[in-house]
Chains A and B, each alone.
Chain A
């Protein structure tokens, strides 16, 4: 008999009792899960309904991005720059020094530049409440402004922001009134040329500009969503509270909402993008060279037409990309990319090229007429190309089934 304990024969290992079985099972389960997830994703990718739902989700987020990060953010910046301009005018009022005048001129340029970038948003509240007139009537009424300042000087008229806002004639205030008073022949006037009444008048104009910029912001954001400081500005100015137009725009289809569908929101959005491109930027580039050839000052009496065009382009690009360069989430660009990523890239490329070529045209000043002509033609070609590409994008976006109905139904 052997002293050794009988050799224990291990029980036959079934597949499940194998030492590796637990980890193997875990791998098996995880693999099955992964397979299920992948096949679900694949089914979704091939399912037209799921695809449309996904696009509708992007379309909604893109409109929200447009309202929050492009429209409201830009108007908020406008209000901030208008406040700076108002402060600069008050400093000039306190002390008429060259430094304070320089600061006010710089503040005017900054605020006016932002105003130009709001161009794609001058529909809806801007049209309903005439912000484009109230903030920037062009041309301003130079005769009436001179007359008002003379009356102010003579003590026959008291001009403050409320007077300017409530006066029916918007041509007495706004950016072009300030331009008329600050510049002469395209360059800033000497500080010694300003009368006290002119500076007082500018303080009132900038105050009105600030208040109405905040009012403009309130129409998109809603007065209840403004900061306490801005709400106080409106209250002190005697301006009425506003409902949020942005809420209606980005939540179409709700009861009483004029925006019956996302398509209607996109149609409004594109209408002004197209308008700015076709009616302002394209003729603006053409007029630049024509004006120079005639020996006239640049188009539309502009102080810096190149900066104006670049700001307009920036505004349209912000509207398309869904935000200012500092704040961008989702925009029309992302929704278009769902359909046609190549076209979206071409549009982004076009923005960059148009911007680059307008800047190159500005930098070619001092070149020969032939060089200037070539630079102008190239800039014109690039903006035309941008217009053409944007035209192709519009139907793809507004006629996508994910944003229907395309037109309001009859009642």
Chain B
């Protein structure tokens, strides 16, 4: 486990992009990627929650190992993520009402975003230390935001093109996502 921090970031962001390689967070990816504006906000909110819940998950994992109850891991993670989201919501509401209004419904929805729980599970599986966890969370958040922005940009273009009637809606979006996923495979070479 002597990977450099830069590699961990690149790995989470591009090579193993959470959306295109692991298929995590597909629901918000398909749901809120129709406008660039909302996609940016959603990406920001998810990245922030990822960072906070990654730190919490690190603490919890070591605490559960210490008391010898690893079977509680999943339940503890999901409870922590749900309460982190609630906490983040309260803090943002208190200190920046403008941002709170901008994020709107997206904040509570993040609880059921599998990318967050996936991040917590993967970092535990890979045995990262605290600093590596932080970088991994940052990279995953950046990768998710990137995927969302790319998709939103493409869908804004799709709206004004002449798509066959049968393919309108989810089908064409999935095809585009497949192409993007193939493009992201090109980054695999970066890992060496």
A, B assembled together: no
